[in-house]
Amino acid sequence: MKERKKKKELSILRVLKNSGTPLTSTKIAQELVAIGQEISERTVRLYLQEMEQDGLTVNSGKRGHTISEKGLDEFDSSNVIDKVGFLSAKIDTMTYQMNFDLNTASGKVVINVTLVEPGIFARSIPLVKKVYEKGYAMGHLLTFLGPGETLGYVTVPEGTIGIGTVCSITLNGVLLKHAIPTTSRFGGLLELQNGKPLRFAEIIMYDGTSIDPLEIFIRSGMTNYIDAVQTGNGRIGASFREFPAESREMVEHLDRKMKRIGLGGLLRIGMPGQSLLDIPVSEGRVGAIIIGGLNPVSIMEETGVRLYSRALAGLIDFRKLFHYEEMERRINEYL
Amino acid sequence: MKERKKKKELSILRVLKNSGTPLTSTKIAQELVAIGQEISERTVRLYLQEMEQDGLTVNSGKRGHTISEKGLDEFDSSNVIDKVGFLSAKIDTMTYQMNFDLNTASGKVVINVTLVEPGIFARSIPLVKKVYEKGYAMGHLLTFLGPGETLGYVTVPEGTIGIGTVCSITLNGVLLKHAIPTTSRFGGLLELQNGKPLRFAEIIMYDGTSIDPLEIFIRSGMTNYIDAVQTGNGRIGASFREFPAESREMVEHLDRKMKRIGLGGLLRIGMPGQSLLDIPVSEGRVGAIIIGGLNPVSIMEETGVRLYSRALAGLIDFRKLFHYEEMERRINEYL
């Protein structure tokens, strides 16, 4: 009982911590329900009363509640498993926070950030471009963040730039806006043969890791983007997701729409209840293979460049993204 | 039903494939039960009859059954999830295959293999030694495998040697021989402060990954052994395991006994039902932190050496292990 109570408290503290602005109990309850943690507004209100008495939160009246210094401490000293959190929880939170509208092509999308010296990046552009050209990237857009700019927990240090690639979780967000829930099962190393997906060589389940699987596969040097772009036989980052079987056509339709504005990421979609690349899928669901958002920059690791990449780094306005053909021109600003 | 049948078939094929020698149905049933897959000998026999008719296995009479070429093909084209297997299954299999007897200090232990050029290793010995000296290694033993030697699926190529470090799964094996079952929960990056475990910075659950978590944390350059050995503040590989609460004293006793012969790996053990380093543990169980077997060699990665390491590579006779103080002398044979 006590354990359960503490878990709910921590969930509320996490929502307040991530928000930055005061939140009402209604909003908190909505966010929790959205990430699969069923709770009523009334229950949230009862918790907040107690948490305020314990000094963990501050009630700013109509504006809502914020987390206190003591609340932050409490959160920091909580269970590493609750605190670090598994990727699946982070994915759900980001999916819910996204507000991109596919019809007007406006709002925010989820991006990854990779820190690199602008000179090194400039030299790598021909390789990075190839990953986009071959369709091993999430669409054909990206952005640059200058020194000092902050996104989520990442601030771009002096002397480097942040390469913002579109995170494939953006697809989950768009689908959710159309009432299609996505189950993100695992990230893996996808083996390609003649440019076609052959099988997953290694996999890490999203609900069993505190670090993004693709981030770590890339850093560990197990990918092979260079052969993938040159001969079509290599290993690239990809993930496996599931949708309700009835939504199959709608998913394909929305993906086509996304591709038209440069955001396509669906590599393959299975048939209801049938295995996809030998990955079993339950009755009533379809499996899908989604391209890894970090793929375009990750090819640099294979040329000996050590990158610092953070998947799911934060949200950015869609209008800040540009076509990969503009990379050469835009990098000049930072050289 | 069909799916379930196929799963059993694949389990049997896996046992036969891993064994190398013919196995009787009794032995196959034992191995499957030991890794938590309840099956009767009679059922195994029925499956084997059918599998022999399908050409997947070969019956060599009294000696037992082996896997055929067709069986190997069938196995290779099966579900990646069944085939690659999760680490937890691999851990269970290796634990069961180990036959080390603590009382006589004889039999086989599980080792990891790291491939490296002998010259590079010779230069790294002072650093590797420090990891042993600080107690960040699984005991104080290791072995060398010469070019051409094979262990499990790893054959040491010409021009390199295999450094065999004792895998921490050896502890599970010893405990199992004393009827104490181990649940291996996750591998992680353990943050040290003044040489003491502070918290897990990142974790990957063993039942959600096809690749050893420590292997990939090490390759990805997220460890910090150099500061760990120099100042006591760094990040090393470790894992989190659980035992039945009643076995707590016995585990400590056996670990002390293992330490005396150079195999100690228990860094910390918790109290029944209580969190350990903020990791919650259920009622009736105790948590424990076990040192990463690959730690001694992994420090080389931080000096720019790219290693090929395979955790849980295979079994080796305990008598082939030597004290780390002998490294300098023994490496000369390969230079």
For residues B263 and B109, is the Cβ–Cβ distance under 8 A?
yes
Residue for token pair 């800040």: A320
Averaged pLDDT of chain B: 89
CA dihedral sign, ordered B144, B150, B151, B155: positive
Averaged pLDDT of chain A: 89
Q: Supply the pLDDT for residue B32.
A: 79
Site from B3, B81, B198, B306 to mutate, A interface, most A CB atoms within 10 angstroms: B81
CB pairs under 8 A between A and B: 93
pLDDT 10s digits, B155-193: 888 899 999 999 999 999 999 999 999 999 999 999 999
pLDDT 10s digits, B287-297: 999 999 999 99
For residues A307 and A298, is the Cβ–Cβ distance under 8 A?
yes
Helix axes A25-34, A2-19, angle to 10 degrees: 100
Task: For the beta carbon of residue B72, count every other beta carbon within 10 angstroms.
Answer: 14
A222 has a chain B CB within 8 A of its CB? yes
- A79 vs B80, B209, B279: nearest CB: B279
pLDDT 10s digits, B253-289: 999 999 999 998 999 999 999 989 989 898 899 999 9
Residue, of A140 and A201, whose pLDDT is higher: A140
Nearest to A256 by CA among A243, A271, A266: A266
Q: Supply the pLDDT for residue A38.
A: 73
Q: Which residues of B touch A205 (CB under 8 A)?
A: 205, 208-209
CA A328, CA B88: separation in Å to the nearest integer?
Answer: 47
Question: In the predicted model, what is the mean pLDDT of residues B76-89?
Answer: 65
For residues A12 and A59, is the Cβ–Cβ distance under 8 A?
no
- B221 vs A3, A205, A219: nearest CB: A219
> CB A78 to CB B278 under 8 A?
yes
CA B196, CA B268: separation in Å to the nearest integer?
Answer: 10
- B279 vs A80, A186, A201: nearest CB: A80
Q: Name residue A165's beta-bridge partners.
A: A112, A142
A219 has a chain B CB within 8 A of its CB? yes
Residue for token pair 């195999």: B263
C-alpha radius of gyration, chain A, whole number: 21
For residues A136 and A236, is the Cβ–Cβ distance under 8 A?
yes
Residue, of B140 and A33, whose pLDDT is higher: B140
B203 has a chain A CB within 8 A of its CB? yes
Lowest mean pLDDT across A3-12, A128-137, A157-166, B169-178: A3-12
CA A197, CA A191: separation in Å to the nearest integer?
Answer: 6
Q: Which residues of B touch A81 (CB under 8 A)?
A: 203, 278-280
B222 has a chain A CB within 8 A of its CB? yes
A277 has a chain B CB within 8 A of its CB? yes
Q: Supply the pLDDT for residue B253.
A: 97
- Quick one: pLDDT band at residue A75, thresholds 50, 70, 90? confident
- Nearest chain A residue to B80, by CA: A278
Q: Supply the pLDDT for residue A94.
A: 86
B179 has a chain A CB within 8 A of its CB? no
Beta-sheet pairing, A154-155 with A150-151: antiparallel
Which segments of chain B does DSSP mark as H helices, in order? Answer: 2-19, 25-34, 41-53, 69-76, 80-84, 87-97, 118-133, 169-177, 213-219, 225-231, 248-260, 295-298, 327-331
Lowest mean pLDDT across A7-21, A54-68, B75-89: B75-89
Residue B1 in this model has a pLDDT that exceeds 50: no
- B211 vs A77, A202, A279: nearest CB: A202
- A208 vs B83, B201, B207: nearest CB: B207
> CB B208 to CB A210 under 8 A?
no
- In this structure, what are the phi and psi dihedrals at residue B147, rounded to the nearest 5 degrees? -55, 135
- A208 vs B205, B211, B275: nearest CB: B205
Terminal CA-CA length for chain A: 58
> CB A80 to CB B280 under 8 A?
no
Residue B76 in this model has a pLDDT that exceeds 80: no
Domain boundaries, chain A: 2-84, 108-334
Return the CATH architecture of domain B108-334.
2-Layer Sandwich (3.30)
Q: Which residues of A touch B210 (CB under 8 A)?
A: 188, 202-204
Residue A245 in this model has a pLDDT that exceeds 90: yes
pLDDT 10s digits, B324-335: 999 999 999 999
Nearest to B8 by CA among B45, B55, B58, B63: B45
* Closest CA–CA distance from residue A288 to any residue of chain B (Å): 15
Residue A191 in this model has a pLDDT that exceeds 60: yes
- Asked whether the domain spanning B108-334 has the same topology as the one spanning B2-84, the reply is no
SS3 at position B307: coil
Cα angle: A67, vertex B200, A50; to 5 degrees:
25
Lowest mean pLDDT across A94-103, A304-313, B220-229: A304-313
> CB A80 to CB B199 under 8 A?
yes
> CB B208 to CB A204 under 8 A?
yes
ipTM: 0.74
> CB B203 to CB A278 under 8 A?
no
B283 has a chain A CB within 8 A of its CB? no
Cα angle: B213, vertex A78, A45; to 5 degrees:
130
CATH of domain B2-84: 1.10.10.10
> CB A204 to CB B200 under 8 A?
no
Q: Supply the pLDDT for residue A171.
A: 95
- B279 vs A77, A81, A209: nearest CB: A81
> CB A208 to CB B186 under 8 A?
yes
> In this structure, what DSSP letter does residue B137 have?
S
> CB A81 to CB B203 under 8 A?
yes
Residue B81 in this model has a pLDDT that exceeds 70: no
Lowest mean pLDDT across A32-41, A164-173, B263-272, B300-309: A32-41
- Quick one: pLDDT band at residue A2, thresholds 50, 70, 90? very low
User: With helix as H, strand as E and coil as C, how does chain A read?
Assistant: CHHHHHHHHHHHHHHHHHHCCCECHHHHHHHHHHCCCCCCHHHHHHHHHHHHHCCCEEECHHHCEEECHHHHHHHHCCCHHHHHCCHHHHHHHHHHHCCCECCCCECEEEEEEEEECHHHHHHHHHHHHHHHHCCCCCCCEEEEECCCCEECCEECCCCCEEEEEECCHHHHHHHHHCCCCCEEEEEEEEEEECCEEEEEEEEEEHHHECCCHHHHHHHCCCCEHHHHHHHCCEEEEEEEEEEEHHHHHHHHHHHHHHHHCCCCCEEEECCCCCCECCECCCCCEEEEEEECCCHHHHHHHHHCCCCEEEEEEEEEEHHHCEEHHHHHHHHHHHC
Residue A1 in this model has a pLDDT that exceeds 70: no
Q: Supply the pLDDT for residue B11.
A: 83
Q: Which two tokens stand for residue A318?
A: 């869609």
B277 has a chain A CB within 8 A of its CB? yes
CA B188, CA B236: separation in Å to the nearest integer?
Answer: 8
According to the per-residue pLDDT averaged within each range, which of A3-12, A67-76, A95-104, B73-82 is highest? A95-104
Q: Which residues of A touch B208 (CB under 8 A)?
A: 186, 204-205, 207-209
Q: Supply the pLDDT for residue A4.
A: 56
Residue, of B76 and A141, whose pLDDT is higher: A141
Residue for token pair 């290993």: A235
B117 has a chain A CB within 8 A of its CB? no
**Contacts of B42 by beta carbon, 8 Å cutoff, 6+ apart:** none
Q: Which two tokens stand for residue B239?
A: 């894992």
Residue B2 in this model has a pLDDT that exceeds 50: no
pLDDT 10s digits, A254-269: 999 999 999 989 999 9
* Closest CA–CA distance from residue B230 to any residue of chain A (Å): 24
Residue, of A241 and A33, whose pLDDT is higher: A241
Q: Supply the pLDDT for residue A325.
A: 97
B303 has a chain A CB within 8 A of its CB? no
